[in-house]
Amino acid sequence: MSSESFFEQLIRGWIPAEPKMPKSKLERILQPIAVLVAATTVVSLFSSIFMVSQPIAALSTPLVVRSTLGSSLVEFEGVLQQNNTFIMVLTNGTHITSKSLTMTFSVTERGGNECTAYLAVECDGFSNETSVDGRIVDGNLVIDSTRSIFLINPNVTRKQNIVLTETADWSLNAIVNTRTGNPSTAVEPYGVNALIVRAHNSLTEEGWPMSLTLGYDPISGMLVYSGYSLSDVLLKKVGIELLLGGSLGLVSYSDDLNLEFFNWDLFWARLNTKAFLFYLHLSLLVALAVVAVVLLIIRKRRKRRQVGALNIPELPDNSTQNCDKRGW
């Protein structure tokens, strides 16, 4: 016999045991509610702590390269959707299709408003580069009296139609988004903070159909993203009339550009966590509402039974009546 059993038999009868009363309906209903509230609180607390303490991945990519004095550089890599290809319409009338595409653009100031613009394009079956003289006029890159869309003045009015570039007989009109966006780079899962400019149902100077979605650094006005199609005076210098298909995502940039990046994976993780907590709290409120309705119905039924019991008439005592009749 264990010591616990020995002492239990020894004191049995001296200390009265507390009677175990059956749980009422209210207690049976409130117990799972308490468990649900406690579980919801714990999950919400830990989820909030995880969401706040989630470390932001180091933004070491896209790669930062050292710039020379007065020079800014961006490098792009083509990004295609499934089964798509890049199509390049050349200035000689031919076209090239490719599954890969890289582009490098840089601008170097020479003093005053004079500058040198450099562009290199390479894909399957095509490679060319050029370096031309240009000017910076009101923050815009101008080559041969034509504004280039590779560098614009970022101080534009939001949600307003602007002219990206124009010649004597042609102009490319676009609209600036109200808010800055985060177009994807070529390095997942990062997006880059950019001023978004769009031009739909447009035509090139030669009449080719074109649809532009461009992203610019809000500080320097440097091109950091291009989607759908692209045509520019600088592209013509390397023999390209129009570039179609996919997008150009940033893969590296010079350290003089203070670009800001956005982690899309972290954004979706936080958004999913917030959605989960929202539906969890909504489920809790629905459950509490259902329980409250059930308790209200039970309470009303009890009151009806109590009122019905009080209204039952008392039956006369038959034995007393018989005694009165017989005179006992």
pLDDT in tens, 145-154: 999 999 999 9
Q: Which stretch, 40-49, 131-140, 309-318, has highest mean pLDDT?
A: 131-140
Q: Which two tokens stand for residue 144?
A: 């041969």
Distance CA 202, CA 200 (A): 5
Selected residue with higher pLDDT from 83 and 171: 171
Secondary structure of residue 292 in the 3-state scheme: helix
Are 164 and 172 in contact, with CB atoms under 8 Å apart?
Answer: yes
Distance CA 47, CA 24 (A): 35
Are 64 and 256 in contact, with CB atoms under 8 Å apart?
Answer: no
Distance CA 315, CA 18 (A): 40
pLDDT tens for residues 7-51?
456 555 555 555 555 555 555 556 666 666 666 666 555 555 544
CA torsion angle for 302, 307, 313, 314 (degrees, to 10)?
60
Secondary structure of residue 322 in the 3-state scheme: helix
Are 243 and 97 in contact, with CB atoms under 8 Å apart?
Answer: no
> Quick one: angle between helices 264-310 and 25-53, nearest 10?
170
CA angle 234, 240, 246 (to 5 degrees): 100
Q: Which residue has the tokens 């009015």?
A: 157
Q: Which residue has the tokens 């209200």?
A: 296
Distance CA 193, CA 86 (A): 25
Find the farthest-apart pair of alpha carbons in the chain and give their distance in angstroms, rounded: 139
Peptide bond into 62 cis (omega under 30): yes
Q: Which of 258, 248, 255, 240 is nearest to 76 (CA)?
A: 248
pLDDT at 59: 45
Q: Which residue has the tokens 């009422």?
A: 24
Q: Which two tokens stand for residue 4?
A: 């616990």
pLDDT at 54: 47
pLDDT tens for residues 155-202?
887 778 889 999 888 999 999 998 889 999 988 888 899 999 999 888
pLDDT tens for residues 243-292?
999 999 999 999 999 898 888 566 555 555 555 555 556 666 676 666 66
> How far, in Å, are 71, 150, 257 from residue 134 at the CA level?
13, 12, 20
- Evaluate if pTM is beyond 0.75: no
Distance CA 270, CA 169 (A): 50
Q: Which of 162, 136, 161, 160 is nearest to 150 (CA)?
A: 136
Q: Which residue has the tokens 């959707």?
A: 81
Average pLDDT along the chain: 79
